[in-house]
Structure 1
Amino acid sequence: MMPQLLALLCAGLCAGQGSRTADDSLPKPSLTVWPSSVMPPKSNVTLQCQTSTKNVNFALRKGSTFVESMQSQASTAGLAESRLTDLKTSNAGQYTCEYYRRERPHITSQPSDVLLLLVTGDFRKPSLQAHRRGEVTAGENVTLQCQRPDNVFGPVMLGLLKAGAAGPIQVQTPVGKEAVFSLQNVTVSDTGNYSCVYFLIKAPFWASHPSDRLEVRVTDKTEKKSPMMAETEIGAAGITLIVIFIFLFLLGAFVICKYTRCGAAPDKMTKRSHSKEPEEVGTSIQPEKESGDPPAATTSCSPASDKASQVSEAEEPHGVTYAELNTRALSEGPSSQTEQPLETCVYSTLKA
């Protein structure tokens, strides 16, 4: 009797297991992780398994080992979550999820793509360098070189990380002890902090500390500038033009003053007025009187005219005789000549 019961139990279990075989008619789910698949120890992650099929249950596996059965959320059909807390190195590995219908027959879907969860800190950090530092222009290529330490043995892979990404953006097998990652036709969205890690490609999937972060800045020259930046640049340009205008104005004033000799203009005007004074002094030669008196010249006597006569005297040619006449003495007679002192008069010329 006992052997028959064991045979029936085995047949039922085998039949139930067979009914959970993968069915190609069911689309495979997607497995994602938040915040990232590369995390430090003692951190927390959330695994999400999702499908478009409704009324299903989910199962989470690590490798071929069953980890947890997950129920879909009541508010969202076809989505289930599993939370891993206080991560340890033992949590690292390859995860997949699958789902099966709640009603009979319990047909299981194809497993999701493999999600590799890495817990860092088992090896020394690598180094990350850029072939080109500083800002790069959109459309160019950026090459990053990750190099692991020398004392690492065994098959490893190198992964390029970007802050904010859910996992490695590129994974490569190293050539020697380094791998070269290339970012093709970069855009502004490629701006960010990058690092790299190396890890074992087999269990226990130990991973290194991340390298020091390397900042990549991508600028787009065709991008329109913000109004604030434009106003700032216009203000700076206006100030520069004003300074240049003031400098050119002062330079032009200096050149004009230098070539017109404005500093010597008053002296020239003074000399010209002195030279013209003798011409402005009216002189008249009186005709000879019948009494036989010599002809007299009438002049206006003043200190200024005296200086002018001295100037004209120096300019007269030789052979000219000058005489100083007191016109008042001529008109008043001998008695008035002794009473009035002589005044300074302008010299007049007499024809010989």
Structure 2
Amino acid sequence: MLPTLTALLCLETLPKPIIWAKPSIMVTNGNSVNIWCQGAQSASEYQLYFEGSFFALERPKPSRSMNKVRFFISQMTSHTAGIYTCFYQSGELWSKSSNPLKLVVTGLYDTPNLWVYPQPEVTLGENVTFFCQLKTATSKFFLLKERGSNHIQNKYGNIQAEFPMGPVTRAHRGTYRCFGSYNDYAWSFPSEPVTLLITGGVENSSLAPTDPTSSLDYWEFDLSTNESGLQKDSAFWDHTTQNLIRIGLACIILITLVWLLTEDWLSKRKDHEEANRLTNWECRRRWRMQHYFEEEQRNAISMMELKATPGAL
């Protein structure tokens, strides 16, 4: 019974928390950043992991009704840039891991130059190419479109990298910056912004990509995370989580009761069968003993009759 109940309890897990960074996931070298982890109202402890290893622990303040904690990094460096995840504990259970949070430190190398060919203002449907150049040799370049795209293009290079686009649509217009890097999370200073303007007639929707970077390698960054939106989503999520936990506990209790009743019924049935077996055995023993005594009595009577008969012996 105990192993079965333990297995059932292990199946009960908590949904994953939400993780985000303030003021941004891109932090200038030496500046501070706050990492927030938001879970259930019943959470008693939060743990933050960096690159898969334990990094920090925080507990919600009991004086406040909060379902989130803050992990403070006082100075962002290349050693604190990378992938973060968080977990929380409620009762004896631990939640699933949050989605990965990618923190990037900027301002480590020289400032690259960015320009676009043939020019910053092109006609709808033309092909353009962004060039990012860094005087100090690097291994990777990143192109980022500000405000509007969560995709960051990346290209390998030494001194320069090319980012071709086209045929351009109205989705391509906007302001771009580029960075140089020796790894995915330690970047140079940003380049000066370059704004791409699109002019021309009617757009051919059949040729228009949904995103300017859809045909290139990219990272998925959520650059417009809204804390109030997270709180609204989490309020609904907390209510749903609590209901699921209650339903799960009720199911465990019900299964436990059914198991106990089944064990009790099987035990009584076994005892009843054992009693019947003993009763049958006792009846057979008594019958054999009675049959034996009756046989002895008949033999004794026969001997007495034989002795009493004259000339019988």
If the TM-score is normalised by the length of the shorter chain, which range does it land in? 0.3 to 0.5
TM-score (norm. length: structure 2): 0.48
Larger strand fraction of residues: 2
Q: Which has the larger radius of gyration?
A: 1
